[in-house]
Amino acid sequence: MTTAPRILLTQQLPADDHTSSLAEYRGYLNPRLSAEEMLTNSPNMQQNDRYVLQQYVNWSRFQPGFFLVPDLSKYRDFLFDTGLRPATVSIHVTTIRKRLEAIARDRDLLYSLIVQPMTLLEKKAVIDELVERIRNAVHPDATRVRIGVIQDVPDNEHQRLTKDQADELLRAPGVVTLLGLRDTAAIALALCTGIRERELVNLTVADLRQQLDGELALHVRNGKGGKTRMIPYGELVWCLQFVDAWLRSANIQLGAVFRRVFWYATEKHHKVRAETGHMHPGFLNDMLTRYPLVFDNKKVCVEAHDLRRTYARRCYEAGMDELRIQRNMGHVNLQVTRRYIGDLDGKLRRPPAAYAQPADLLAAVGA
């Protein structure tokens, strides 16, 4: 009979412990165990989560240790080194943590990983050890991401485009090429609906034209926090003309709205067409780097969230009340919507003439 692995007091072991004890029980698991297969192959997984997990899988291939018992603090630091913001890093780490917690709860899956001939009691000892180590590794205390609260942000960090700047950005890609037409459609839809980047890339053709109390609206099926909402187009319905032109040119009738464009060769010509499947979650930010705008005599690449802020500000200045903007943007808290609007920006925060100006005293001091 195979000797049962010794039971370790893993509660006392740090999450980054990669000693011989870890290798000891790994020897009982399937050596062909695939990180990609275990972490990303789930029928109900959202594409955004699969993308985040795939990034972790790619990183883990070049790291020591076991992918099911990760050093998430090391991966967190790696993400920071790539330039991601704290909020984005937190999303990545949380997604990985939730997936590993789900695996730790799936005892049937874990038992299926053991390929060595063992008794049920011996298998239980191995699985208990693995589950405890997974839970230690993904404990929030092991991978905290500090997200500061910032009251005021300089103008050059959060852009809200003027009407002229929005028009300039919309015209930048052009509509002659298939790539330019796709980018124009994406920019137009983002400016006219305030949709989030991840919501944009998850759109399907069926989502573009839905009804909300008789109003033509965009259907966001699975927004932030799993929230479903409708965004009426109103007077900004012209954005659909660009989207329709892109769909016609790319021969898209069903499925994902925005897709990767690629070149391919035939015997006589080089042609371009759209792939199947959705774009990756960072599509809009990556695309916007190709179309910088000039702010204060400097070229600046706007970000996807800048288009959301622009939507909020332009709607507010056009007379739309805060509550309706909040509903369209999918915010739970009205204060968040107000920050997007920027209703406390420098100009509106200039104090009024709260006191009478002492003209005589000023004259006496030669002012």
Do 251 and 105 lie in a common domain?
A: no
In a domain, 27, yes or no: yes
Per-residue pLDDT of the chain (367 residues; tens, 9 = 90+): 444 333 332 333 333 344 344 445 556 666 566 666 778 777 777 777 888 888 888 888 777 777 777 788 888 888 888 777 777 888 888 888 888 888 888 888 888 877 778 788 888 888 888 888 888 888 877 666 554 545 555 544 568 898 999 999 999 999 999 999 999 999 999 999 999 998 999 999 999 999 999 999 999 987 877 789 999 999 999 999 999 999 999 999 999 999 988 875 555 555 667 777 788 878 898 899 999 998 878 888 899 999 999 999 999 988 899 999 999 999 888 888 888 887 555 555 566 666 677 677 677 767 6
Sequence-distant (6+) residues with CB within 8 A of 313 are: 160, 340, 341, 342
Do 48 and 196 lie in a common domain?
A: no
Do 85 and 182 lie in a common domain?
A: no
Sequence-distant (6+) residues with CB within 8 A of 119 are: 1, 4
Do 97 and 14 lie in a common domain?
A: yes
In a domain, 41, yes or no: yes
In a domain, 114, yes or no: yes
In a domain, 350, yes or no: no
Which domain range does residue 315 map to? 163-341
Do 59 and 186 lie in a common domain?
A: no
Do 22 and 124 lie in a common domain?
A: yes
Do 183 and 331 lie in a common domain?
A: yes
Whole-angstrom distance, CA of residue 138 vs CA of residue 311: 38
Do 319 and 174 lie in a common domain?
A: yes
In a domain, 156, yes or no: no
CA distances 153 to 3, 52, 179, 304, 326, Å, are: 62, 28, 34, 17, 21
Q: At 282, which amino acid appears?
A: G
Do 186 and 333 lie in a common domain?
A: yes
In a domain, 198, yes or no: yes
Task: Give this prediction's pTM.
Answer: 0.60
Nearest alpha-carbon partner for 279 in 193, 185, 192: 185
